[in-house]
Amino acid sequence: LSCTFPVFFSQLFLEKYGYFSEPGPGTHSPAEFTEALRDFQRVTHLPPSGVLDAPTLRQMALPRCGTDDGESRAAGPRRASPARRRRRTAQHGGRWYKRHLRYRVVNWPSYLPQHEVRLAVRAAFELWSNVSSLLFWEAQDGPADIRLTFFHGDHNDGLNNAFDGPGGALAHAFFPRRGEAHFDSAERWSLHSGKGRNLFIVVAHEVGHTLGLEHSPVKSALMSPYYKKLSKDFVLSWDDILAVQNLYGKPSKGSAIQLPGKVFTHFQDWNTDLYGRDRQQRSLSTYYCHSFFDAITTDGDHNLYIFKGSHYWVVSESGNASDPRPLQPRWPGLPAGIDACAWSQLSGKFYFFKGGRCWRYAGSKLEAGFPRKCSALGLPRHPDTALYFQQLRRLVLFKGPKYFVVGEEPLGAEPYYPRSLRDWAGLPPGTAGALTHRDGSVYFFRDDQYWKFDQAKLQVVASGKWAAQLAWMGCWDANSEQVLF
């Protein structure tokens, strides 16, 4: 029994997820079983031995989407047989023939706050609308194109789609134009990046299916069949974006917006004004207000520059935020997801840092010799924060519990550095950015918090939540006196 059970389990698994060309468990020859096993091993990036070994069984036991692996099997190095291709084409994919789709959250786990669930679902849909021509609207009751529902066990989708309790299949969805995504109520769902299955990441995956996307063979893709924890570095992969744009085209206005996963890890921080009718344009211009950004700096005209992913925002001295702008036209050659940025009051140049490299721009022109390996000049790799510090007439880079003072000409760390962060009394490690404000204070930021540093006293004199308390950050609507989404 101990030998035959894994084989029987794996046959049922391969049958459920579409690895046999003809249905019917127990009717497959050893050669068919070996070939199906090889297919599965290719899709999951295991050695395609065709042998039911321990790594293969472990992979089969991992939590995943309950929709079968369809097209992802054909995308590997081996071509699928015509019979298999016909079956996938007949049963899978499809697309919606309209651009505006309504969705409805029919029910949700009672232990999750309703408004947070709705925010997570909306964010999951926006992940796709940000990179395609689609637009989504929530229907709180009545008919909808796409319905999201939680079920226990067998829920009349056929025994092959019955939910299996915690682990295993977490959810499944149907291709257009059925418009259904089902989630296993027996899972422990969460809206945070800690314990439990992250609802946002699973909904975003299942929404992909309802739009017509197959499972992806690309391991890092959201549409990969296996559950992945939501990390702050998560973004849609190139494979996800190409797949949805192949069906629906690029965004009708502007360029695709990639939001990093750290925007979505704490939905309790999001403001429920998201559902106001005038929020469509506001949400774009204030996405950085969701508690996280990559870097921040300010120029000589007191304009703020706020960086997130492949875009940046400019907030004027009056607190008006621009729409998100792509990095490339403004700073050609600059990569997405920078670690730190500072504008130098001494030279009028922008400095950017990512990994061990740095970039220096005069206006929009990348200076000769850049990017260069700044870690070779004594600068830290992946700095947390960069700042031009007027008292020293130098750049300061912060990394963990230490800071470095950096000269510009020639570029390099000054002697006797790094020093302990204790010199900056009251400042926590791991800040995301800093700037010198026109009031003379230096403001440091981390997550949704800020620290106000007095340059004369050399200590932190105030702290709080920057989106709500610092009107000049562009997140404060003076008319309604509410924090914008």
Mean pLDDT across 10-32 = 80
Is there a domain that residue 275 lies in? no
Q: Are residues 223 and 145 in the same domain?
A: yes
Mean pLDDT across 308-313 = 84
SS3 398: strand
Beta-strand pair 350-354/482-483: unpaired
Is there a domain that residue 276 lies in? no
Q: Are residues 220 and 369 in the same domain?
A: no
**Tokens 């105030």 sit at which residue?**
462
| Strand spans (E) along 197-282 | 197-198
Q: Are residues 309 and 437 in the same domain?
A: yes
Model confidence at 2, pLDDT cuts 50, 70, 90, reads very low
> What pLDDT is attached to residue 102?
94
Q: Are residues 353 and 253 in the same domain?
A: no
Confirm if 343 and 349 have CB atoms less than 8 A apart. Answer: yes
The answer on pLDDT for 282 being more than 50 is: no
d(CA 138, CA 124): 12
Check whether 35 is labelled as a binding-site residue. Answer: no
The answer on pLDDT for 481 being more than 90 is: no
Sheet containing strand 169-173, edge to edge, reads: 64-65, 169-173, 180-184, 146-151, 100-105, 135-138
The answer on pLDDT for 73 being more than 90 is: no
**CA 243 → CA 42, 185, 226, 228, 315, distances in Å?**
20, 29, 18, 19, 34
The answer to whether 214 is a known catalytic residue is no
Mean pLDDT across 206-212 = 96
Check whether 28 is labelled as a binding-site residue. Answer: no
> What pLDDT is attached to residue 308?
83
> What pLDDT is attached to residue 72?
56
Is there a domain that residue 243 lies in? yes
Half-sphere exposure of 365 (CA within 13 A, CB side): 4
SS3 433: strand
Mean pLDDT across 430-458 = 93
- The dihedral of CA 170, 189, 154, 149: what is its sign? negative
Please tell me which residue in 180, 206, 409, 481 is annotated as part of the active site: 206
Q: Are residues 266 and 291 in the same domain?
A: no
The answer on pLDDT for 91 being more than 90 is: no
Model confidence at 194, pLDDT cuts 50, 70, 90, reads low
Task: List, for residues 215-273, the tens digit of each pLDDT value.
Answer: 988 888 999 999 988 877 777 888 898 899 999 998 876 666 666 665 666 554 554 44
Mean pLDDT across 368-381 = 94
| Ranges 125-129, 279-283, 373-377: which has the least confidence | 279-283
Q: Are residues 59 and 34 in the same domain?
A: yes
Check whether 172 is labelled as a binding-site residue. Answer: yes
Q: Structural domain tally of the chain?
A: 3
> What pLDDT is attached to residue 414?
93
Confirm if 436 and 390 have CB atoms less than 8 A apart. Answer: yes
Check whether 182 is labelled as a binding-site residue. Answer: yes
Confirm if 262 and 123 have CB atoms less than 8 A apart. Answer: no
Q: How many residues does the chain have?
A: 485
Task: List, for residues 397-434, the tens digit of each pLDDT value.
Answer: 999 999 999 999 999 999 999 999 999 999 999 999 99
The answer on pLDDT for 74 being more than 60 is: no
Calculate what percentage of the chain has a pLDDT beyond 70: 83
Residues spanned by the domain of 315 = 282-483
Check whether 155 is labelled as a binding-site residue. Answer: yes
Confirm if 171 and 66 have CB atoms less than 8 A apart. Answer: yes
Chain-wide mean pLDDT for the chain? 83
Check whether 296 is labelled as a binding-site residue. Answer: yes
Check whether 448 is labelled as a binding-site residue. Answer: no
The answer on pLDDT for 192 being more than 80 is: no
Q: Are residues 312 and 171 in the same domain?
A: no
Check whether 92 is labelled as a binding-site residue. Answer: no
Q: Are residues 324 and 463 in the same domain?
A: yes
Check whether 295 is labelled as a binding-site residue. Answer: no
Q: Are residues 221 and 288 in the same domain?
A: no
Is there a domain that residue 386 lies in? yes
Confirm if 172 and 161 have CB atoms less than 8 A apart. Answer: yes
Q: Using the 3D structure, point to which of 234, 249, 270 is the last residue of a domain.
A: 270
Q: Are residues 185 and 124 in the same domain?
A: yes
Greatest mean pLDDT among 43-52, 140-149, 198-207, 257-266 lies in 198-207
> What pLDDT is attached to residue 454?
95
Is there a domain that residue 474 lies in? yes
The answer on pLDDT for 111 being more than 70 is: yes
Model confidence at 323, pLDDT cuts 50, 70, 90, reads confident
